[in-house]
Amino acid sequence: MPFRKLLGWFKGFFGKKKIIRLGLYGPPNAGKTTLANKISIDWTGEPVGTVSEVPHETREVQKKERVIVKVGGRKIVMNLLDMPGISTKIDFEEFLQYGFSAEDAKQRAKEATKGVIEAIKWLENVDTALVIMDSTKDPYTQVNITILGNLEARNIPIIIVANKIDLPDSNAKWIEEAFPQHPIVRISGLTGSNIEDLYNAIAKHSK
Amino acid sequence: MKNPSINIELEFISSDILEEFKGEEKMQYILDKIKDNKILVMEESLSSTDEAKLIEATMRNISEKFSGIEVSTLREKQENGIRETIIKLLGGKTGGLTVIGPSKLIKQIKKEPKRISVLAEKKQSDSEKNSEE
Ligand SMILES: Nc1nc2c(ncn2[C@@H]2O[C@H](COP(=O)(O)OP(=O)(O)OP(=O)(O)O)[C@@H](O)[C@H]2O)c(=O)[nH]1
Ligand SMILES: [Mg+2]
């Protein structure tokens, strides 16, 4: 028996379960925090962060530790890591349209740039990644490709979440065609539909 | 309404030039050109790590005047195919292409597996609108 396996068996034996650091990645507004909240409320009763239609709402990694998920007779212990959305551009003028003052908009932009950097740094510190995509949008973007490429390079298990399937113009097939090499679950983080499929996928693919 | 003229400068960069730079320097070289309102076409595809570094460097450069980039990379089909491996062994480039430009200038870089199309547009910022009046 290899040492690592033996160690894992010992830890399991003494009830010290491995904690999976589950990172939620994706572009801004894909629904990462909505989903993190759904998972966390389901199993702990508490939310993880604030949701907003304004992009870059999450500007610091939000953590929820020791979330115990029961799936198929198994218990999975996870640290949820809700990441800031990753983007290649941040224009403070975009925030003005949402009614922010110029000063607040500039401050939000500044914090957002730091958030993107933090999310990128965390890429090496997650055990499993959910890459959340808005299924009403073109999935073949450089941000999605960069996120997937970096996770692949580090051999981190990836589950693609085709989110917002409750919307009439949702097209999860688009995502499946763009990234056929990864498991994909279609859900709505907002309504919670198909969320069981996601828990099963996490149990199956996490390492 | 008068339509302000748009100057779009395209610059093609060979991978020989880029090879002279080390990690961070390369990204700053690229970003300095983009901040100068140039659209760069580079004779190489960026690796995933480089893409992440480029995004990081972009974030550090963002200001009220510079709002970031649009970027798209085309990779060779099989980076580790036999043909590519042999070319690499002989010191050659296996190709690929990267297009990067300022997001203020580029409305969209549309990416398909084998094609990149660039939609340029001059977006007026509020400050520019005011100075024109
Ligand atoms: N219809 C629908 N809307 C959703 C769903 N998930 C999220 N949204 C909406 O999408 C918007 C963005 O949601 P967030 O959860 O804040 O998105 P995020 O990915 O955390 O965004 P950032 O923190 O900015 O990176 C909000 O208006 C949500 O209500 C979904 O499954 N269906
Ligand atoms: Mg969020």
Q: Cα–Cα–Cα angle for A31, A33, A38, nearest 5°?
A: 95
Domains of chain A, residue spans:
16-205
Q: What is the C-alpha to C-alpha distance for residues B72 and A160, in angstroms, rounded to an integer?
A: 21
CA dist., res. A151 & res. A53, Å (int): 27
Query: Which parts of chain B sit beneath pLDDT 70?
Result: 1-6, 23, 76-95, 111-114, 122-133
Q: Please tell me the predicted confidence (pLDDT) of residue B59.
A: 98
How far does the centroid of ligand 2 lie from the alpha carbon of residue A108, in Å?
14
pLDDT in tens, A32-61: 999 999 999 999 999 999 999 999 999 999
Query: Hey, which of A48, A51, A163 would you mutate to test ligand 1's pocket, going by the most ligand atoms within 8 Å of its Cβ?
Result: A51
Q: Specify the pLDDT at position B130.
A: 42
Mean pLDDT over all residues of chain A?
Answer: 94
Cα A188 to Cα A134: distance, rounded to the nearest angstrom = 10
The arithmetic mean of pLDDT across residues A22-41, rounded, is 98
pLDDT of B75 reads 75
Tokens representing A156 are 């981190």
pLDDT at A179: 96
A206 vs A122 pLDDT, higher one:
A122
Contacts B24 to A, Cβ<8 Å: none
Task: Work out whether strand B106-112 and strand B97-102 pair parallel, antiparallel, or are unpaired.
Answer: unpaired
Contacts of B36 (CB under 8 A, 6+ apart): none
3-class SS of residue A149: helix
Residue A192, both tokens: 């919670």
Please check whether residue B127 touches A, CB under 8 A.
Answer: no
Interface check for B85 against chain A (CB to CB < 8 A): the answer is no
- Please count the other Cβ atoms lying within 10 Å of the Cβ belonging to residue B44: 20
Query: Which atom of ligand 1 is least distant from the CA of A58?
Result: 23
Q: What is the mean pLDDT of residues A153-166?
A: 97
E-state strands within A72-149:
74-82, 128-134
Domain boundaries, chain B: 9-132
Which residues of B, range 30-59, sit inside 8 Å of A by Cβ? 47-49, 51-52, 55-56, 58-59
The CATH class of the A16-205 domain is alpha beta
- The pLDDT, as a whole number, for residue B20 is 86
Chain B residues within 8 A of A101 when measuring between CB atoms: none
ipTM summary value: 0.90
